Structure 1
């Protein structure tokens, strides 16, 4: 074996991400945190709550957790708007979450894991636990960007956004739309909220309701439910949300003008 150094045999991965370079400084969102007491929480369960209310709708007690959005961000709706939609939907939905959380994402979370909302089968917001729907603040003026080369699921979501009133402009490789207040309201209040209710209705039907559960044993029913492909659960939620939206529109319940957020105007018990 020659002892002469041969530069062409140098490892070309040195100094690149393939060899681990800069991996400790990845621009990524940690999935969970551990506090000083050793308790873990997911990043979307960490709120800087500015207002807390309890709403009573059809026998359901819902805790509303509100985090004040940063300047330039909006939820597109107020807790009173959500209260009105849920009161209109209760006869059709028949089940409501334990918690509605208005959440302001960080810049990194907005860039890396942007969502309109989430449904949590079990959420832990400190003193508040249970099923939860999270609605996330959106930055006005930010750009929605969709590739022209979309799989079928992305194409369907793109068409829903167009129906929500987002004005897309075609560029060389993308469809782009600027986030505006009315579009954000239409997507979050009249679609995302109802979609997440669909996830709750599906879970209640397959796991919690003894008459329709997938198994008499709730643990087995839960395992069967979560073994379903996520695409199947998403399809149920989309169908449920669209049917509920259609019914509310026919009844004249939605759309409606935004209701100003005043604590005295909401039927609540505050902390």
Structure 2
């Protein structure tokens, strides 16, 4: 295709496609350009103009929260779009993970500190214990007692944040400032608990080694949280304060690539005075 198209049209060469259900569509504007709910205009290329399809990935419905919940991870999941929020609740019910996933429909800037505060509040009010009903054995005998109910204990602090909207996810990072401003005693060196790891998706340019892109992404993160961050180049670890691991996700255009930047919230950021008021 690059040999046939004129130079000024090479930016439109597709780098991949996905098949979902029975329709084939083409986006005719950028995702999120017309709506804060991340919807977009489209044209139908093949199949009926019916967007009601069902997608299953890894025997789940839902790409992030549900697979984690099925593995026994507690997840506070958020989506600003009311329709997506309803679909999230439906996916939680379909996949039977309501004990591990709690859905929210909030602005992301508010949700980040709200998630930390609400989880901590459950511990402070002794509401962090979930009791599961006892399951009867498949072939019970009349004299066999029921097994004891199983209990699950929610942790007081968050281990990971996943910010998965690459076009705007970095802009949510100021919400990490002051995340645990009044709860520093919950973390090292007072305990063995580490501050949360953040996995933020974003777009940048593309090169063979991603070094230039890593430095550019680290600079953007530094600007948002008011703390100097450096991309790991060779040796280095995200547990080292101020270090960011840049992982290539996929190409999205001839000159555009999606990345995931992972870093642990620096102490100076987490314990600073909070910016976002909940």
TM-score range, shorter chain: under 0.3
Normalising by structure 1, we get a TM-score of 0.24
Which structure has more relative contact order (CA 8 Å, sep 6+)? It is 1
Normalising by structure 2, we get a TM-score of 0.23
